[in-house]
Chains A and B, each alone.
Chain A
Amino acid sequence: MTTVEDLAGHFGPYGGRFVPEALIGALEELDAARIKAQTDPTFLAELAELHRTYTGRPSIITEAKRFAEHAGGARIILKREDLNHTGSHKINNVLGQALLTKRMGKKRIIAETGAGQHGVASATAAALMGLECVVYMGEEDTKRQSLNVARMKLLGAEVIPVTSGSKTLKDAINEAMRDWVTNVETTHYLLGTVAGPHPFPSMVRDFHKIIGEESREQVLALTGRLPDAVLACVGGGSNAIGIFHRFISDPSVRLIGLEAAGDGIETGRHAASISGGSPGVLHGNRTYVLQDENGQTIESHSISAGLDYPGVGPEHAYLHDIGRAEYRGITDAQAMHAFALLSKTEGIIPAIETAHALAGAIQVGNELGPDAIILINLSGRGDKDVQTAAHYFGIPL
């Protein structure tokens, strides 16, 4: 079984395009450019060369044997996207879109960022390719992730703190879309996740599916068989779709996305759009959304800025509805426990986003037992989170 979206970007009832008419031309231009690039040997070679010599691909896998003792003894295999240049999976998508930007003859990119990972990756690609870069970041997030703000500035990007609404990722996306509506002729919106209007969910997935393609081969080579489960954290869902996609047609492989349950889904203070939301339209696509009875977006809550988003990519909404993927909530406390555990058992400090997937692995490992093989997308490293974690664990700075 495989899931294939239609030409207008519908994943079953999800996805599509709900945007001001002013953006239709740019979205169609982008769609044409990305479809052409998919079969253009020059583009593919250029991107592959960048990944080899700049990103550091293929990223390795690491078996986490000491961590596994806390996960029912299952074999735990980490796909090390944290070792990519800029410290997360985000660079995969950014390099692809930056190359497309140049092909479309545009000189300016704008991006939204939550945790700052996508902003840093975008600023990096802009520096590498000589593009002007403006990053919109919720004011709340600029405080939580001040180190990444500094990194973006050092890379030559302009960071604009967004003070409207909840001052987090969703409002940064609103502001980026307003900029794009105004400057669409010269500007590409380098959207950082598998959400937004078509073709973003498909295009961003296609730039990240290399994660699953590489790790499927690597796990087969290491263990001789496919994993029983593939786990990833889900905010917008780009790293999860990236590692899931190659496995969708392997029916024996369970796909499990871990959403941010914040203080607990029952408290209403969470960011678990699939587990705790309902179908609606947000940021240009139909998907699961945290919303009230009037269709107003409800502010999400998570200790992880990168998962603090009240929507999710439409392909995840569809995979959930057809039962091909499962989605579970992981609370802040469970994530921080896993964060500390991986740090102390494996010498790897994960991003707090990623720690949600690790907490899921503890659950799933205990459910499946020692014969199971679990592949986890270690989507980002935790350097940016040291301040948050130190505060959480009461370590004086």
Chain B
Amino acid sequence: MTTPLDDLFVKVRSENRAALIAYIPAGFPSVEGCKKVIKAFVDGGVDAIEIGFPYSDPVMDGPTIQAAADQSLSQGTGAREVFDALKTASGLGVAAVVMTYWNPIEKFGVEKFAQAIADNGGSGVITPDLTIEESATWKAAVAKTGINPIYVVAPSTTDSRLPKVTSQCGGFVYAASLMGVTGARTSVSSGAADLVARIRTTTGLPVSVGLGVSTREQAKGVAGYADGVIVGSAFIKAIQDAPDEEAGLAAVRELASELAKGVREGR
């Protein structure tokens, strides 16, 4: 059985382009506002949506996403809001996944969490701090529910370790473009292309690149060698910098449609 995410990558491969994957934390800028952002993503041409589970100690995230997570948590966002946002996204016909640090999964109940992802139309979960060594219970839950387990690999991941991680992935492999935390940067690290090439020697799965992508030009560049382009902080910044909600949503749509052009120009 395939997930909507699996189907998406078959489709974009047939169109000879990369997929655009957009990130938003659940409950940001508010519970209802998040749903509007999701709609704006879809209107702007986003192919897949990553719903973030805001977490109190996000060590992989830079200041932009930290601030968004704090804002969301202060409004009481929990698992229910995450699954609601996931359902909103999948209901709009795009592939939807959750990105979460491990502890909220463990606290919710590992198998129950995987089941809730499937029940709300989600394709999978990105787990940035779950190492393959600690993944036994997750692996079992994922197998049972048929969702995609998406692990992150880094430029520092050695050639000998790489196949061990990518062989556990489903949906796509998340390639961190650089050594660092999330956040917009003026250029995408040149190490990203090298990492994607190394990943491809270990797996036939699609590879998506995240960390530091914020512009159409950057999306175009990454789309030249990757199957998916992941953008997060740039969208959040667009919302934070807007004078009001309407302007924020307009900025999100505009950025999404620019990036959607970028992922079609790379090859």
Contact = CB atoms under 8 A, between A and B. Distances in A.
Contacts of A294: 78-79, 104, 107-108
A338 B2 CA distance: 64
A20 B157 contact: no
A21 B156 CA distance: 8
B103 interface: yes
A295 B103 contact: yes
Contacts of B60: 20, 178, 181
Given A24-B156, A25-B158, A164-B66, A174 B57 contact: yes
A21 B107 contact: no
Contacts of A295: 55, 103-108
Given A17-B134, A22-B176, A297-B56, A281 B106 contact: yes
A211 to B, nearest CB: 30
Interface in B138-156: 151-156
A23 B176 CA distance: 12
Contacts of A289: 103
Contacts of A171: 57
A21 B59 contact: no
Contacts of B107: 280, 291, 293-295
Contacts of B155: 22
Interface in B149-200: 151-158, 161, 165, 176, 179-181
B181 A182 contact: yes
* Interface size class, chain B: 35 or more
Given A8-B133, A296-B73, A20 B59 contact: yes
Nearest to A22: B154
Contacts of A23: 156
Contact of A282 (B57, B79, B105): B57
A183 B180 CA distance: 8
A17 B131 contact: yes
B154 to A, nearest CB: 4
B6 interface: no
A281 B135 CA distance: 13
B62 interface: yes
B80 to A, nearest CB: 9
Contacts of B57: 165, 170-171, 174, 282-283, 297
Nearest to A171: B57
A22 B156 contact: yes
Interface string A160-198: 000011000011001001100111110000000000000
B103 A178 contact: no
Chain B CB count within 10 A is highest, among A8, A18, A165, A289, for A18
Chain B CB count within 10 A is highest, among A16, A20, A171, A280, for A20
Contact of B106 (A8, A20, A165, A280): A280
Contact of B103 (A165, A181, A281): A281
B79 to A, nearest CB: 6
Contacts of B176: 20-22
A16 B133 contact: yes
B179 A18 contact: no
Contacts of A21: 131, 151-154, 156-157, 165, 176
Nearest to B134: A16
A178 B129 CA distance: 13
Interface in A269-318: 280-284, 289, 291, 293-297
A265 B106 CA distance: 24
A12 to B, nearest CB: 14
Contacts of A8: 133
Contact of A18 (B63, B129, B161, B181): B129
Contacts of A165: 56-57, 70
Contacts of A297: 56-57
A19 interface: yes
Contact of A24 (B55, B161, B180): B161
A169 to B, nearest CB: 12
A297 B158 CA distance: 32
A192 B104 CA distance: 26
B130 A18 contact: yes
Given A25-B157, A182-B181, A297-B57, A18 B79 contact: no
Given A17-B134, A20-B129, A281-B102, A25 B156 contact: yes
B128 interface: yes
A19 B107 CA distance: 17
A20 B158 CA distance: 14
B132 to A, nearest CB: 9
Contacts of A183: 179
Contacts of B165: 21
A283 to B, nearest CB: 7
Contacts of A293: 78, 107
Chain A CB count within 10 A is highest, among B55, B62, B133, for B133
A178 B179 contact: no
Chain B CB count within 10 A is highest, among A23, A183, A297, for A23
B179 A182 contact: yes
Contacts of B63: 164
A294 B76 CA distance: 10
B154 A20 contact: yes
Nearest 9 CB-CB pairs, A to B? A295-B107, A22-B154, A295-B104, A294-B78, A295-B103, A182-B180, A297-B56, A296-B56, A177-B59
Given A16-B133, A182-B180, A283-B57, 7 more contacts: A17-B131, A17-B134, A24-B154, A171-B57, A178-B60, A289-B103, A295-B105
9 contacts: A8-B133, A17-B134, A20-B129, A20-B152, A20-B154, A22-B179, A177-B59, A181-B180, A291-B107
Interface of A: 8, 16-26, 164-165, 170-171, 174, 177-178, 181-185, 280-284, 289, 291, 293-297
